[in-house]
Amino acid sequence: MAPHGTGSLFPTAEIARLRRDGTLAAPLPEHLGGAGLCAPDRVDALRRCLTRVGRDSLPVGRLYEGHVNALALVLRYADAETQARLAHDARDGHLFGVWNTEPGDGGLTLDAAGRLHGAKSFASGAGSVTRPLVTARMPDGRRLMLVMRLEPGTRADLSAWRAHGMRATATGTVAFSGLHVGDGAVIGAPDDYSRQPFFFAGAWRFLAVQVGGIEAVVETHRAHLKATGRGGDPHQQARFGQSLIALESSRLLVARAAALAAAETAASARIIAGVNLARAAVEQAGLDVIALAQRSVGLAGFLEDHPLEERMRDLATYLRQPAPDFALTGMAAHVLEAEEPLHDLWPEET
């Protein structure tokens, strides 16, 4: 059964390829059949993997990032038996995701009898993610992580997902009312989901995907200049050069943020500030490369059959992440309060 309001946009073939080539299982440790990409010493491999998937397709990158995030939470907080069972599901090809965002009214609650009420909104892969990790509020107000077992095509409503970009992510509302929480669905302890620095610092993963989207726009910009023979013009060269600086400085900052988050050696607030610095820089870089490509390519880049058109829409949409002002000002406030010289805030060796 297709989810209500869905078209045929979901990237079924691309996700099937990730399933076949082992990318879906790769976050799992080797003893659970993966490539260990969630281990701290493999953070660079995970970062490059997220950027590569995002470069090929930003919607697929978003879906894969949700899958990785869910498995990372399971590996960090679930007991060994639950980890083994869910690892089996991942190896079996189930797509995971993290659905935390909820509508202003009707957010997900769990009653004392173990019944769910309410819905999740902005849920990527709605109708296709069959093992979503959701957060649900308990009667005492704390939030619990649950991995639910869903049948494909059920409980999803995509009718409101008429977005500017990222349409292929099938981001919709999923209703959970009436479902019982089964044995083994609970991951970790109440409020583990929002434990810091793992919660905020995990933003480095969506940044790695966004770097892939930025690279795709800059690559298209370059292809246009080569194809039209306009690359010799100094104005075009200057804009293209600015785009490259935005891309490569984003890549470096995200690599640093990923290393900082994985090492977990610095104080929590310092790790979060370092990741938030990368968040603000990547958001600005993404906006800049879009504007530069628009000016260099011109009207052709706005036509639906030009590759830049979809890549720009996808990137502009995916740059919208929670509370960007808070990320920037929180980082600035942290550094204003710190006593160390700037060069000691995020030393090279973490």
Nearer to ligand FAD, 31 or 162 (CB): 162
The least distance separating ligand FAD from the CB of residue 250, rounded to whole angstroms, comes to 18
Name the nearest CA neighbour of 208 among 53, 29, 38, 14. 53
DSSP alpha helix (H) spans, 92-138? none
164 binds ligand FAD (CB under 6 A): no
The least distance separating ligand FAD from the CB of residue 244, rounded to whole angstroms, comes to 26
Rounded Cα distance between 250 and 278, Å, is 7
The least distance separating ligand FAD from the CB of residue 100, rounded to whole angstroms, comes to 4
322 binds ligand FAD (CB under 6 A): yes
Exactly one of 189, 223, 323, 333 binds ligand FAD (CB under 6 A); which one? 323
The least distance separating ligand FAD from the CB of residue 340, rounded to whole angstroms, comes to 28
99 binds ligand FAD (CB under 6 A): yes
Contact mark string toward ligand FAD, 49..78, x via CB under 6 A: -------------x---x------------
The least distance separating ligand FAD from the CB of residue 219, rounded to whole angstroms, comes to 21
Stretch that binds ligand FAD, among 166-174, 208-216, 265-273, 289-297 (CB under 6 A): 166-174
Strand partners, 128: none
Contact mark string toward ligand FAD, 205..234, x via CB under 6 A: ------------------------------
Helix orientation angle between 203-228 and 43-56, rounded to the nearest 10 degrees: 50
DSSP alpha helix (H) spans, the chain? 12-20, 43-56, 58-77, 80-91, 198-201, 203-228, 234-263, 268-297, 307-318, 324-337
Largest CA distance in the chain: 70
Stretch that binds ligand FAD, among 116-124, 227-235, 303-311, 338-346 (CB under 6 A): 116-124
DSSP alpha helix (H) spans, 92-202? 198-201
Name the nearest CA neighbour of 139 among 86, 190, 99, 173. 190
171 binds ligand FAD (CB under 6 A): yes
Stretch 281-320 residues interacting with ligand FAD (CB under 6 A): 317-318, 320
CA angle 275, 278, 284 (to 5 degrees): 145
Exactly one of 123, 170, 209, 278 binds ligand FAD (CB under 6 A); which one? 123
What is the CA 264 to chain-centroid distance, rounded? 20
Three-class SS state of 21: coil
Exactly one of 169, 220, 236, 276 binds ligand FAD (CB under 6 A); which one? 169
Is-contact 217 289, C-beta < 8 A?
Answer: yes
Is-contact 289 325, C-beta < 8 A?
Answer: no
Stretch 3-42 residues interacting with ligand FAD (CB under 6 A): none
According to DSSP, the β-strands at 186-187 and 131-137 are unpaired
Chain residues that interact with ligand FAD, rule: CB under 6 A: 62, 66, 97-101, 122-124, 166, 169, 171, 317-318, 320-325
